[in-house]
Amino acid sequence: MTNKNPKGGKLVRAEVSYPEPKSSEEALNQIRDHLESEIYVNLIYQVAVYRNEFADELVHLDELKGKCTWLSIKRRDKRPVNNWQDMQTIKNRLVGKKCDAIQMFPSEDRMVNNVNQYHLIVLPEDVWFPFGWKTRAVTEQSLHENTKQNYNGENND
């Protein structure tokens, strides 16, 4: 994992309280969510972590079933997340720096867009995506005039 924190400070494990269920189905969903997820919060973010078989709802390859982690990330003030570095840091902090993750932009017929909530699917450490850069190239300094590098987790919204 990493010692770096996203904007808003350290993510801490939290217990979630649920409203009084209106039906037995809602009560079962609350129980399922409580048993299957870990919830982490800081001043800005709330993250639900579903590990292994609990992430399988979003994993469609048999060879990856039971091996991935699903991060469901939202801001506590319900605003959009506009900082990729915070998403990277949350992934590093809760799953690990050596794991690849993906935020998918699906075809229109599979899009789900109901709230400002973002989903990362994190692969196991020994699996990586067959696309993207193969080596690290990170700088904390701007390489071009009139730009500001956002590697330190500074807010850019």
CB burial string 124-147: b at 16+ within 10 A, e below: beeeeeeeeeeeeeeeeeeeeeee
pLDDT along the chain (157 residues), means of 10: 77 80 78 81 95 94 97 95 92 96 92 91 94 83 72 46
The one-letter code for the residue type at 83 is: N
DSSP state of 150: -
pLDDT at position 100, please?
96
pLDDT at 7: 85
- All domains of the chain, ordered by start, with CATH? 12-122 (3.40.1720)
Q: Which residues contact 149 (CB under 8 A, 6 or more apart)?
A: 139, 140, 141, 142, 143
pTM summary value: 0.80
pLDDT at 25: 79
